Chain A
């Protein structure tokens, strides 16, 4: 074979543009033997063929330009679909918006008035506190139960994979449907939960989960834990599966007990997975709207109201779009922080 053994694999690993240049520089005998296009006939190097337009086109087809197009397309998409609405939302939070000026962009600017008004409202701090309780409670519950389940299925007893799949049902169900079902479960007079607790001797009188301000927020947290646990379990299972088994074998040989193995191998090896899951959980929890709409509507007396539901209430119930936008901006800040944590935690992941 005249084919040089070194140029093949090397060329393959080089960036596309580089490869093209190398081919052009190669002796004419090789290019003709390899049957390249007529433009690259012997004696006429590619560099001189065609003007800048052709070069640009060919670079888009197979060169640096191609890389740029690949990046530009999703970036443009992201900017159009997420960036613009986000900027628009921030803009609205500094404007005076009413329903009839919704269609225009240039509305009277009011500076920080919307923000000042927001924090002057007596319900703002309790709602922010509710949001914090909701996020922490939901993530803690979802993560702990999800981790427990993941470890349980990791044992790999017969039918484990099958059962684990079934657990995903809760994650597949739409939030509004889950909300409607939990609405019945949590119902004060005829709810299943009260029935079980009563029959189990845990409570003597019905708890009005949805209507008692002391319980309403926890009622939604309960439903949200149920909804998100399966997702946590699956991601954690994937993380667990990625830990090399020989680490455990070695540890076992060294006499480490189960707890020590968990504490010194499993947890450190899962660090980036756990970071990612908690950050994703924060984002998903701050997005959770359906359950509030279906179970408590944020009531009674805002006792289960959280920022995401409140923003919607302000915009689409009170038609105070500026106030709704202002609340959303506050949320964006929190989600941004979560995203940074998420990106940082996945950066350490080893790929390939």
Chain B
């Protein structure tokens, strides 16, 4: 009998405590955040830190796969199940903001002491804009530049401190560095028929005076001709057409390519894997003195228009932005901010590379923004592939792409 009595009291006490706990938690505003970041990447860690603040807002985090971000978000939004906050790839941002799926943050940003537009690089900032308003906050940024193997430069009589600066120099260097007997290609890059191909080609077209609205300029055609030369002369592996950037750069790390065009996301792996001296230089330009350009990658934060707690969600974004200065050190990603000086990591190769990437970021241009970006991008990918497989001349291929893009732009 005694035991039962204590058990009842205990159960009641437990129920009381948990009721108390429940009621305490019920007062918290609950937000949901979706992003593709894994445990060693920023989002889940920022969420955990934010939850520790105990400021009456609790965030639930959900990781989604890269390939599913847009389709999951669309499905969720159209069925009223959207999260409060989502991290979205920058070329897809306009798709949502133009349809009113994302919340207009212009007013909140103008009042904010943490998020200030002037602190961001122009490229990333432009990708969250639609119709002159801000529909998000850049989460991080990246771009591409030219990695090169200094040891191979020395071995082939090239100056390791003078990497190629123009397109012609790049092709020349690639010719000298290509060594089929040693299984070495001069250059590794990606012309894959997905967003990566567009990401890699667009900077070349832009340096050639083109843009996605105007993809068949003389300079852009020249750019594609250079790519074709590189593929035709086997200065890069024919598998460039079906290989993504990560796998292409893998061949550079293993010493099977002397140069590689890729981004800062490679730095950690390269420092570990590459058993040679390497450096990074800015993406070569058509001719000396021509305006530089580069690709701009990475994700943006956005708040869904359907969020019931927009003010709290913005507070969370402010917290995320306030942690931008630790982003490179903790997660190896570049904040999209020009006002933050990134501290040295102590690894000389990585620090030198970082300087180049920060310089390159100044010229980074967003893809779009345009709500129908996937279709524009597909037209560009088709042109690249048609030209590189020899099924159309670079000029014809880009003319066709221009026509398709014109139809999309209306």
Residues of A within 8 A of B (CB): 99-104, 187-190, 208, 210-213, 216, 296-303, 316-320
Q: Can you list 23 A-B pairs, Cβ within 8 angstroms, ordered by A?
A: A100-B74, A100-B77, A100-B78, A103-B78, A103-B79, A103-B80, A188-B238, A189-B256, A210-B239, A211-B243, A213-B391, A216-B242, A296-B242, A297-B242, A298-B193, A300-B193, A301-B385, A303-B389, A317-B194, A318-B375, A318-B378, A319-B70, A319-B74
- 5 smallest A-B Cβ distances: which pairs? A103-B78, A301-B385, A208-B238, A99-B74, A300-B241
**Shortest Cβ distance from A129 into chain B, in angstroms?**
15
> Contact between A187 and B101 (Cβ–Cβ < 8 Å)?
no
> Contact between A212 and B238 (Cβ–Cβ < 8 Å)?
yes
Measured between alpha carbons, how far is A187 from B248 in the docked complex, in Å? 12
> Contact between A299 and B238 (Cβ–Cβ < 8 Å)?
no
B382 within 8 A of A: yes
B241 touches which one: A190, A211, A316 (CB < 8 A)?
A211
B71 within 8 A of A: yes
Measured between alpha carbons, how far is A318 from B389 in the docked complex, in Å? 23
Measured between alpha carbons, how far is A320 from B372 in the docked complex, in Å? 10
> Chain B, 354-378, contact with A by CB distance < 8 Å: what is the 0/1 string?
0000000000000000000011001
> Contact between A299 and B78 (Cβ–Cβ < 8 Å)?
no
Using a CB-CB cutoff of 8 Å, which residues 81-103 of chain B contact chain A?
Answer: 95, 99, 101
- Main SS of the interface on chain B? helix
Q: Which residue of A lies closest to B68 (CB)?
A: A316
**Shortest Cβ distance from A181 into chain B, in angstroms?**
15
> Contact between A316 and B238 (Cβ–Cβ < 8 Å)?
no
B200 — which chain A residues lie within 8 A by C-beta?
none
A211 touches which one: B71, B74, B239, B374 (CB < 8 A)?
B239
Given known A211-B239, A317-B378, contact A300–B77 (CB-CB < 8 A): no
Measured between alpha carbons, how far is A99 from B99 in the docked complex, in Å? 10
B300 within 8 A of A: no
> Contact between A208 and B239 (Cβ–Cβ < 8 Å)?
yes
Given known A297-B192, A301-B193, contact A319–B388 (CB-CB < 8 A): no
> Chain B, 88-120, contact with A by CB distance < 8 Å: what is the 0/1 string?
000000010001010000000000000000000
> Contact between A300 and B71 (Cβ–Cβ < 8 Å)?
no
B193 — which chain A residues lie within 8 A by C-beta?
297-301
> Chain B, 376-403, contact with A by CB distance < 8 Å: what is the 0/1 string?
0010001001101101000000000000
Q: Which residue of A lies closest to B71 (CB)?
A: A316
Residues of B within 8 A of A (CB): 67, 70-71, 74-75, 77-80, 95, 99, 101, 183, 192-194, 237-243, 251, 256, 374-375, 378, 382, 385-386, 388-389, 391
Given contacts A99-B74, A319-B74, 4 further A-B contacts (CB under 8 A): A104-B78, A301-B382, A318-B374, A319-B95
Given known A211-B240, A301-B193, contact A102–B75 (CB-CB < 8 A): yes
> Contact between A100 and B101 (Cβ–Cβ < 8 Å)?
yes
B237 touches which one: A100, A189, A213, A302 (CB < 8 A)?
A189
Measured between alpha carbons, how far is A303 from B237 in the docked complex, in Å? 18
> Contact between B78 and A101 (Cβ–Cβ < 8 Å)?
yes
B241 — which chain A residues lie within 8 A by C-beta?
211, 299-300
> Contact between A102 and B378 (Cβ–Cβ < 8 Å)?
no
A187 — which chain B residues lie within 8 A by C-beta?
239
**Shortest Cβ distance from B397 into chain A, in angstroms?**
9
A103 — which chain B residues lie within 8 A by C-beta?
75, 78-80
**Shortest Cβ distance from B402 into chain A, in angstroms?**
15
Measured between alpha carbons, how far is A271 from B310 in the docked complex, in Å? 67
Measured between alpha carbons, how far is A288 from B120 in the docked complex, in Å? 46
**Shortest Cβ distance from A186 into chain B, in angstroms?**
10
Measured between alpha carbons, how far is A121 from B78 in the docked complex, in Å? 29
Measured between alpha carbons, how far is A102 from B73 in the docked complex, in Å? 12
B80 — which chain A residues lie within 8 A by C-beta?
103
> Contact between A213 and B78 (Cβ–Cβ < 8 Å)?
no
> Contact between B99 and A213 (Cβ–Cβ < 8 Å)?
no
Measured between alpha carbons, how far is A212 from B241 in the docked complex, in Å? 9
Measured between alpha carbons, how far is A189 from B242 in the docked complex, in Å? 13
> Contact between A301 and B192 (Cβ–Cβ < 8 Å)?
no
A216 — which chain B residues lie within 8 A by C-beta?
242
> Contact between A102 and B374 (Cβ–Cβ < 8 Å)?
no
> Contact between A188 and B78 (Cβ–Cβ < 8 Å)?
no
> Contact between B389 and A99 (Cβ–Cβ < 8 Å)?
no
Q: Which residue of A lies closest to B92 (CB)?
A: A319
B99 touches which one: A100, A210, A300, A317 (CB < 8 A)?
A100
**Shortest Cβ distance from B198 into chain A, in angstroms?**
12
Measured between alpha carbons, how far is A297 from B194 in the docked complex, in Å? 9
Measured between alpha carbons, how far is A151 from B243 in the docked complex, in Å? 41
Q: Which residue of A lies closest to B375 (CB)?
A: A318
> Contact between A213 and B242 (Cβ–Cβ < 8 Å)?
no
**Shortest Cβ distance from A155 into chain B, in angstroms?**
42
A318 — which chain B residues lie within 8 A by C-beta?
374-375, 378
Measured between alpha carbons, how far is A103 from B80 in the docked complex, in Å? 9
> Contact between B237 and A188 (Cβ–Cβ < 8 Å)?
yes
A301 touches which one: B99, B101, B389 (CB < 8 A)?
B389
> Contact between A102 and B242 (Cβ–Cβ < 8 Å)?
no
> Contact between A299 and B385 (Cβ–Cβ < 8 Å)?
yes
Measured between alpha carbons, how far is A298 from B95 in the docked complex, in Å? 25
B70 — which chain A residues lie within 8 A by C-beta?
99, 319
A102 touches which one: B67, B78, B95, B194 (CB < 8 A)?
B78
B99 — which chain A residues lie within 8 A by C-beta?
100
**Shortest Cβ distance from A117 into chain B, in angstroms?**
11
> Contact between B238 and A211 (Cβ–Cβ < 8 Å)?
yes
> Contact between B386 and A301 (Cβ–Cβ < 8 Å)?
yes
B239 — which chain A residues lie within 8 A by C-beta?
187-189, 208, 210-211
Measured between alpha carbons, how far is A188 from B231 in the docked complex, in Å? 14
Measured between alpha carbons, how far is A187 from B242 in the docked complex, in Å? 10
> Contact between B374 and A319 (Cβ–Cβ < 8 Å)?
yes
**Shortest Cβ distance from B148 into chain A, in angstroms?**
20
**Shortest Cβ distance from A17 into chain B, in angstroms?**
46
A211 — which chain B residues lie within 8 A by C-beta?
238-243
**Shortest Cβ distance from A320 into chain B, in angstroms?**
8
Given known A100-B74, A208-B239, contact A299–B192 (CB-CB < 8 A): yes
A101 — which chain B residues lie within 8 A by C-beta?
78
> Contact between B78 and A99 (Cβ–Cβ < 8 Å)?
yes
A212 — which chain B residues lie within 8 A by C-beta?
238
**Shortest Cβ distance from A272 into chain B, in angstroms?**
42
B251 — which chain A residues lie within 8 A by C-beta?
189
**Shortest Cβ distance from A298 into chain B, in angstroms?**
7
B375 — which chain A residues lie within 8 A by C-beta?
318, 320
Q: Which residue of B lies closest to A216 (CB)?
A: B242
A190 — which chain B residues lie within 8 A by C-beta?
183
